[in-house]
Structure 1
Amino acid sequence: MKFICDGLVLSDAAVTVSKACSTKTTTPVLECIKIGAQNDVVTLLAYDGEISIEKKIKADVLEEGEICVNGRFFSDFIGKVSGMNVVISTGDKGLEIRYEDSESFMQALPASEFPSIKGEAGEEYFEVKEAALKALISKTVFCCATDESRPILKGCLLETEGGKLHATALDGYRMAVSQCEAAGGNGNVKIVCPARTLTEISRMLEGGDETLKIYVAKNMLFVSVDDTVLTSRLYTGEFVNKSNIFPPAFSTQFCVSRAELIESVERASVLIRGDKNNLIIFEVKGGNILITANSEIGNVSECVKGEMSGKELKIAMNGKFMLDALKALDEDKVKLSFNTPIAPFTLENKDSQESSYLILPVRTTA
């Protein structure tokens, strides 16, 4: 194999594909990018057992062939020569990289060791605007679980119904529910997509008004953006029923400036940095929220004015969870809804209910 291409184009492709290289594996080839050259097109492919990413770029192919090289090292190295034309070839030492008057070598593995990827698009699909999907992912994916205790919670439930795409994510301590307009499809789709897959799809999107078609088949997801194709496994099993979690009514509601509340919680969070629960306390009383935080470093006590209805309340919570939800909302005013100091509470925009966040309070001995 031998080809010549622009270093910047190759670097961008390598960085994109390397996101699917495995970092925890006993199979070395899963840490690799498979590079293939044929008919003036170079194909880069990586697969970690869950996600595969393939990207094609134009190149001057002098000799067709394919080989596997460690993805992290290759993408990092090519990034350092991105301002030059590079010549990539195979030789006795493995992969040869020539640039200007220099050359380097990397160990390589035979392409025959790379697993076969079956990523054919199925008949079932749904369509959504790129900007809408990118926003939906950013509003929900941070609530997905990161541990292995309940693997299905590492994914986000996506459902199409009534011309809407609904997303639900939770980790056992908080939950995000959001929706956007669906641009089309051939039926109602219900899948649990890995959070990591959604993050990589979001990175692929420009966020414009173009319509993206996402195919689903046999617990697999298939999406193509320009010259990049992503294929991912989907999680199987029963996802949590969100209707059983959100309280049907609330005894206390408080409307407040989102910016003011973010600033106050951020200041309170400074002194509890490193605390296990990031504990802050809200005392809702008389049209104000008194926000307090205490640690060995010091204490904070601030008052934020707003509009209150219902009973007075004092509740403790994880400050990081509160900030994540506040920053995901996008209106000037937000609404906080409470019941008791030990019951879950919710956050949402004051006017639009497209996104809602539910957070479990922290029980205190005080």
Structure 2
Amino acid sequence: MPAFAYDYLTAGCFTEINLARNKSDIRNVQLKPWYLRDFDGADQRTELFGETYDAPFGVAPVGLQGLMWPKACEYLAQSAVDHNIPFTLSTVSTASIEEIGKITNGKFWFQLYHPAEDLLRDKLLERAWEAGCRTLVILADTPTFAYRPKEIRNGLSIPPRMTPRNIVQMFMSPTWAMGQLIAGKPEFQTMKPYIPKGLNMKHLGLFMNKTFSGRLTEAKIAQIREKWQGNLIVKGIVNPDDAEIAVKHGLEGLIVSNHGGRQLDRGQSTIVPLYKLAPEFGSKLKMMIDGGMYSGADIAASLACGADFAFMGRTPMFGVCALGRYGGHHTFEMLKKQLQQVMEQVGCARVGDLCDHLIAESVPI
């Protein structure tokens, strides 16, 4: 893949301190094995919001997936269906709500970037519901667009800006380039009906910044709760005050997240607030996490620290960028095998029991 697309997938904000902290903190978590107890095998099946999934992890929302690899969003949605795990579509991805609804038979989650205008918000919610979506994720951790030096250097845009540097990168990635020619240029498909035609890259950027300048507030959560009859999740929560608001308004769950280290460079890693929030809110909300997980062992560590479910964004994308339409299948199969091995090694029969194997002193709080 071209370097500008790879940078978008892998980079964080500022000097990428929090990106590195996400990885290192979760890898400090240690588990204790029980070797001499009776053990009949491990079962990864997990119930979440009335659905039983084959594994306790799903696909996190990722923007601009089709820029990183042609049809990446559609490939991952299909792979998630085949492996019976949840797929989450971002508002700013390159596949439409309706297309993902068809691929998943309506069994998908939708992440809403909160628009500045209520009318646009309501249109997006209506489209998601009509496409079969019953779990809505509202994003809290992007009140402003972060400073990401690599994106600035690359002049990242949709479609990619045709600078001499980017053109060279495209020529050096012929499989990616051919795939883009076949698939068509990547666009914000969900947002396409609302984007004025004929905008150049500068004005498209200004339009998107203006459209999604809405900070999520308690009042806006209350409005969405009144309108959305399905499961309502808030993503980006890292402190108890915000978690209390989620409980107050009857939300079904929260996702502890720092946007993959892409928003606040001096924030906490995801595993630390999860470990602190789970004891207080785990009986009131489904506790989920994303950020910092790249293996089945990382998933096991997150579940041991109190998560009911884990979501991964970069890892499935790495699979698609390496293997195309088969990448999601390869990645999910690999993650399942890795998690199974960890559970069998420590003698854990069910994912909900992994917390019994946590060595609490290893959590970097």
- Asked if TM exceeds 0.5, the reply is no
The structure with the greater share of residues assigned to strand is: 1
The structure with the greater share of residues assigned to helix is: 2
Higher relative contact order (CA 8 A, sep 6+): 2
Task: Report the TM-score when normalising by structure 1.
Answer: 0.21
Structure index of larger Rg: 1
Task: Report the TM-score when normalising by structure 2.
Answer: 0.21
